[in-house]
Structure 1
């Protein structure tokens, strides 16, 4: 990138001849002695720009993504989800969502007063057939769909079929693609929600594209029935009056780099190296293998018929490989454009070592695929339970049959296993510690 970024030019050109600053922020753009930050970082933090001053910059980014408009977010993908739910509240009542929805979706439903229809599915990530069946069964009652795609661990579904169905039935379709932000920069770019007809797409830039934590995007596709003014109105509810210039600069830089040939080649190379690791694992049988349902080119979900995911993760960490997360089922490994040839070579060596360690063990059954899937029994709207005036706090084992006022979530990936308005059932007692305190309606 030879030219200075537009965000940088705006920051650098702000009243350069001013001698004395009598305004916030207190650092006034001048760094003090610090063990952690350079003077330049403080200079980026002055002044504050309103969103309308960034309109042209966002429009130029929209041209890269081929959207009607792309909005910069400095409150993470969570901010984008809350905006999406607020927009849904403008004309919808009952909205279909998957069991793999992030907790922020539930929070958005609470604020917007929405009624969730949970899509019945065999696993947390619903298939296209399960989504369409749920929408068919619900009939005209459900007028919108907010789908988390891909799943946290990289499982995808047939977005094209879902999109076509939603268009035919006039169902508003919003996609939380926080965990697929890198799809537009891979050869398999058609995996991206932006390749389908939809009404809103949310991206989390820090996860895979390389910008700072808390950076995200809301895309308004050209096919959207939502207007720019409606998005801007919803954004105003969740946006600070003084957005971080450092985050804004990071957003623009990361996107321009990602669309550049050099960075794109690194994405493609990482995807190819991941495929080579899959070829290696193909030699190990079920002793150490990967979930073929994980179609994200940069993710490997490792599992074994000889050990739990936690045990595999411990063996990897002993050998210097730290992964995203593990559970009883397996271990999620996420690769990026930053990983070098040496990184992949080391991982390959470690996988061979772990395979040899596990090969001596007895086979066993370590995970029930259906353990996380449920059909929530909703007794009232999440908003009604969340703001219930009469409530009490009891242990989970005492709460069976009662209605929860709060959420219990599994982190990662911050998917709720109990939400406000949901009846507490045997399913919860079997999967959550029985002495867990919950608030219930009285």
Structure 2
């Protein structure tokens, strides 16, 4: 049990009466369904420290997290990894600066660019041959972009990706530092990396300057809990703390902070056991599905992260959305998300062997029922600057402009006034300020027709363009 949770329990058992926030007054017997959490839910009172100026128990909790991950400093995040991304980018850039980023990064990167009025130079990761998702960011592409770029302040990459692809962070860090640029790694899906010898090293060990972890994505912690780690001397830590104070709530949840602390305590004591369970589940799924006739689950040569199971239906008669619905409705298995030709499942060391067996049995059953249909939809090429949207205005100028909504076909040649994202994970098809081409309209139409979750298109099928 975590130290903070213990201390909250001591308070709930004491005779100290709360003449302070929150308004539920720790009255767990009020009859509300959610009241079981009330007796541990407090605000910053005496003896409980302050997240924004940690000097006591919260500082101790953050130090224990740092001892597990072995970074320079570690900070608790209760506004999710999003506030970590916003703080990290803000800390290493000034108004109008340029950062280098992979196009397939999370939308929080774009929000940071808007808030800081940044210019974005894009990398376009190559699609993995035969699959409909992007591969790693190549160090040589980073080097070429930094060599050609002008005064790039930071490099921002996502590793592992949503689908579980690792980039060579160590090589990328060396290259970025040779040009004087900071490396920020959105490792939201990799909080488990480096906690055991059985799992690959993470971006902290790889030399990144700032690393952001969503604990809740793969580790036993409640939703919205995250960590930010900082290394080295490139990042001004006082400046970083300032932006953490700006982007994090001034009323941080002690339930969330206690969950983070309890997660760290658990993983410190049980990390190897957790990793052993994860790897045994992962290996069992891969081994049991090698003989599938129609569906395919790529191994760790393609999907590097053992927490990610990609079920590809690229050579079948069904789409990813249809496979997703089958898994939910017929087998009561809730996937993480669906794309055109695959479904993504997340496993962790907290799964059960019964749950893993149910997944294997479901995949085998679906495979037996499927016919074969060679998929011709995939484009196993490189996302290139030749087909990328052209930026006409800065993100901030465009997003702050007036707009109107028009049907998609009328938007060709117009400038986007809002994001259009495929969600999850929130990767933009078009960014405010970019010219909408016929290819972009076709991509949006195709995604909608396949039942994918496209954010930024109205219920009437219209898109925002600037006026």
Q: Same fold (TM over 0.5)?
A: yes
Work out whether 1:312 is the aligned partner of 2:323: yes
Once residues 28 and 417 of structure 1 are traced to their aligned partners in structure 2, the CA distance between those partners, rounded to angstroms, is 46
Once residues 239 and 205 of structure 2 are traced to their aligned partners in structure 1, the CA distance between those partners, rounded to angstroms, is 23
Once residues 68 and 234 of structure 2 are traced to their aligned partners in structure 1, the CA distance between those partners, rounded to angstroms, is 21
Work out whether 1:118 is the aligned partner of 2:122: yes
Shift of 1:198: 1.5
Shift of 1:7: 5.3
Shift of 1:276: 2.2
C-alpha change, 1:216 and 1:146, in structure 2 (3 Å) is: same
Partner-residue secondary structure (3-state), 2:94: coil
Shift of 1:365: 2.8
Partner-residue secondary structure (3-state), 1:432: helix
- The total of aligned residue pairs comes to 434
**391-400 or 72-81, larger mean C-alpha shift:** 391-400
Shift of 1:257: 0.7
**316-325 or 410-419, larger mean C-alpha shift:** 316-325
The answer to whether the Cα contact below 8 Å between 1:121 and 1:130 also exists between their aligned partners in 2 is no
The answer to whether the Cα contact below 8 Å between 2:419 and 2:430 also exists between their aligned partners in 1 is yes
The answer to whether the Cα contact below 8 Å between 1:408 and 1:417 also exists between their aligned partners in 2 is yes
Shift of 1:80: 0.8
Once residues 25 and 17 of structure 1 are traced to their aligned partners in structure 2, the CA distance between those partners, rounded to angstroms, is 17
Once residues 425 and 130 of structure 1 are traced to their aligned partners in structure 2, the CA distance between those partners, rounded to angstroms, is 29
Work out whether 1:62 is the aligned partner of 2:66: yes
Once residues 378 and 106 of structure 2 are traced to their aligned partners in structure 1, the CA distance between those partners, rounded to angstroms, is 23
The answer to whether the Cα contact below 8 Å between 1:86 and 1:234 also exists between their aligned partners in 2 is yes
C-alpha change, 1:265 and 1:15, in structure 2 (3 Å) is: closer
Which of 351, 357, 372 matches 1:361? 372
**187-196 or 285-294, larger mean C-alpha shift:** 285-294
Instruction: Considering fraction of residues, name the structure with more helix.
Output: 1
Shift of 1:368: 3.1
- Hey, what does 1:296 align to over in structure 2? 305
Shift of 1:441: 2.6
Q: How does 1:210-221 map to 2 (within 5 A)?
A: 210-221=220-231
- Hey, what does 1:135 align to over in structure 2? 145
Q: How does 1:327-338 map to 2 (within 5 A)?
A: 327-338=339-350
Once residues 370 and 323 of structure 1 are traced to their aligned partners in structure 2, the CA distance between those partners, rounded to angstroms, is 27
Q: How does 1:384-423 map to 2 (within 5 A)?
A: 384-388=397-401, 390-423=402-435
C-alpha change, 1:405 and 1:233, in structure 2 (3 Å) is: same
- Hey, what does 1:428 align to over in structure 2? 440
The answer to whether the Cα contact below 8 Å between 2:106 and 2:427 also exists between their aligned partners in 1 is yes
Work out whether 1:26 is the aligned partner of 2:23: yes
Which of 156, 161, 180 matches 1:170? 180
The answer to whether the Cα contact below 8 Å between 1:128 and 1:158 also exists between their aligned partners in 2 is yes
- Hey, what does 2:203 align to over in structure 1? 193
Relative to the length of structure 1, the TM-score reads: 0.90
Once residues 429 and 286 of structure 2 are traced to their aligned partners in structure 1, the CA distance between those partners, rounded to angstroms, is 32
C-alpha change, 1:186 and 1:131, in structure 2 (3 Å) is: farther
Partner-residue secondary structure (3-state), 1:367: coil
Deviation by residue 1:406-435 (Cα, 9 ceiling, x = unmatched): 111111111111111111112211111496
- Hey, what does 1:44 align to over in structure 2? 40
The alignment's C-alpha RMSD in Å is: 2.5
The answer to whether the Cα contact below 8 Å between 1:399 and 1:424 also exists between their aligned partners in 2 is yes
Shift of 1:134: 4.6
The answer to whether the Cα contact below 8 Å between 1:288 and 1:355 also exists between their aligned partners in 2 is no
The answer to whether the Cα contact below 8 Å between 2:81 and 2:226 also exists between their aligned partners in 1 is yes
Relative to the length of structure 2, the TM-score reads: 0.85
Once residues 258 and 193 of structure 2 are traced to their aligned partners in structure 1, the CA distance between those partners, rounded to angstroms, is 22
Structure 1 residue runs without a partner (length 5+): none
Shift of 1:205: 1.0
- Hey, what does 1:281 align to over in structure 2? 289
